[in-house]
Amino acid sequence: MISGRCAACKNQRRKCPSDCIFSPYFPSNDPQRYAAVHKIYGGSNIGKMLQQIPPYVRAQAAESLYYEAQSRIQDPIYGCYGIISQLLQQIHIAETELVKIQAQINIFKPQNPQVGYQSNFDVSMRQFQFAGHSSHTP
């Protein structure tokens, strides 16, 4: 038995090298973390993705891959796309609310010029729109 192996090397039943790409981000005491990314992306793809980015951002990448893998396991149809769709709907609701309030305020503006409200909230929905598809309603 080889001790001190990371979760990836333990999963692959191999020796964990000192420069193991997985070791800092997938510790052996959290096997579920590696199991999730392994299930969705495969160990080889995770290794490749981590290799292709600078070492100082690998922890964030591993965390985001884990988050996306968990989302896909929880929702095998929509994954993170489903969360984004829900958030876009929340933003749409907020925008509608703000327009409604703005209209209400404008009614009383002439009598109370100091009740002037100008929203700074401007979400460019276009930047998050799904290419060629409207967002779904999960």
DSSP letter for 135, please. Answer: P
User: Residue 39, by phi and psi: left (phi above 0), alpha (psi -120 to 50) or beta?
Assistant: alpha
End-to-end CA distance of the chain: 47
60 touches a copy of itself by CB under 8 A: yes
**By CB under 8 A, is residue 61 in contact with a copy of itself?**
yes
Please give the full DSSP string across 3-71, using - where no structure is assigned. Answer: TT--HHHHHTT----TT-SSTTTS-TT-HHHHHHHHHHH-HHHHHHHHHTS-GGGHHHHHHHHHHHHHH
Question: Binding a copy of itself by CB under 8 A: which of 4, 99, 104, 106?
Answer: 104
Binding marks (x or -) toward a copy of itself, 15..54, rule CB under 8 A? -------------------------xxx-xx---x--xx-
Binding mask 71-100 for a copy of itself (x = CB under 8 A): xx---xxxxxxxxx-xxx-xx-xxx-xx--
- Cβ pair 95, 74 in contact under 8 A: no
Judged by the rule CB under 8 A, the positions of this chain that interact with a copy of itself are 40-42, 44-45, 49, 52-53, 57, 60-61, 63-65, 67-68, 70-72, 76-84, 86-88, 90-91, 93-95, 97-98, 101, 104-105, 107-108, 111-112, 115, 117, 119-121, 123, 128, 130-131, 133, 136
